[in-house]
Amino acid sequence: MATCADPASQAVRPAAPPAGPAGTDGTGGTGEAGSRLTSAAGPSRALRRVPRSLAVLAGYLALAVLIFRAAWAEPGGVLYGESDSVLFAWYLGWIPHALTSGLDPFVTSHLNAPTGTNILWSTPIPLLGLLVAPVTALFGPVVSLNLLLTLAPALSAFALFRVLLRWMSAPAAALAGLLYGFGPYMIGESYGHLHLTFAVFPPLLLALLDDLVVRGRPPARTGALLGLAVVAQALISEEIVATSALVGGTGLVIAALLHRDVARARAGALARGLAVCAAVAAALLLWPLAVQFLGPLRVHGNIQPHNVAVSDLLTFVTPTPPSLSHPTSRCGTARGSPATRWR
C-alpha cells in the first residue's frame, strides 16, 4: 500500500502563566480576568488547528489530482472511468435541467425512450447534481463529473480526519483518513460509481451518534442534524444509508453490551434523538421515496440475477485489482488510462 508523509504537525502549547496569589490570575490581574483568558483559550486552540487541517486537506487533494490526472488533461472532453460514468454525467446534467425546465426530475422518457424510466431505481445523485449545477451550466456535465470524482476521496478522507480528532492524534487521524478515502474500495469504485465514493456523510453520522450517545448533546437538536445528514446521504446513495444504518446499529448493540449501565442511562436520549431523526428524514424524503416506491415505472421483481455482483469473503484478505499488491493491479492505471472520450 502506498504511503505518504504525514502533513499534520502538533501545535505547540504556550507556557502557562506563573501561579499567583489566591484570587488572582497569576499575572497580577483579578480572577475575573483569568476567567476571560481561560474562556479565550478554546477558540485560540481551535484557530491553531486550522493550518494543520488545511495542510491535511491539501495533501488529500494533491493525491486525488494525481490519481485522476488523466481526466484533467482534457476535463471537458475526457470522461474518467468506465461504463456507468457516462450515466452519471447524464444525471448531473439532467437534474438541474429538469428542475429549471419544470420537468419531473425523477420520471422521464429522455432515457429508455419511448417507455421512459423511474431514475430513482438507478443512481441519479440529485444532491450532487444540484451542488455542481453552476459548474455544469458553465462547463458541462463531464467537467462536473470529473470534479466530483476528484473531490470525492479527498473530502471523504478529510471528513473522517476531522471526526477522528475527537479521539486520536492528528497524525493517526490523517492516516486513518488516507485509508478511508484512498483505499482499494474507493479507487475501485471511482471507475464508474460516484454515488459510492462520495462518502463524506458517514463520518458525520458517526460524530452525531457520538454527540447523542456519549457526549450527551440535546437529543432534539442532535436528532434533527442526524436526520439532515441522513437525507443528504440518501440523495447521494441509498445504499450507503443502508450500510451506515447496519454498521451504526451493530456498533450501538456492541457498545450497549459492553457498557450496560451507561446504555440504560442513555437509552431515553438515544430513543428521542432517533425519533427526531426519523421524523426529519421522513418529511424531507417523502417526495422521492413516494415516487420511487409508489410512482410510475417503478421496478418489480429482481433487479439483477442472484449471481451478479456477489461478494467473496476471501477479498477481505486477498488483494484485488484495485490494490497495488495485486499482480494485475488497476491502481497504476487508475492514474491514467480509464478515461472515455466524450466527443
DSSP type of residue 18: P
- Look at the pTM and tell me if it is higher than 0.85: no
Q: Which amino acid is at 263?
A: A
341 Cβ contact list (under 8 Å, min separation 6): 77, 78, 79
Cβ pair 282, 226 in contact under 8 A: no
Cell of 181: 478515502
Per-residue tens of pLDDT for the chain, all 343 residues? 443 433 333 333 334 434 444 444 444 444 444 445 444 555 666 556 678 899 999 999 999 999 999 888 888 888 887 778 999 999 999 999 999 999 999 999 999 899 999 999 999 999 999 999 999 999 999 999 999 999 999 999 999 999 999 999 999 999 999 999 999 889 889 888 999 999 999 999 999 999 999 998 999 999 999 999 999 999 999 999 999 999 999 999 999 999 999 899 999 999 999 999 999 999 999 999 999 999 999 988 887 787 777 777 887 788 776 666 666 665 544 444 455 554 5
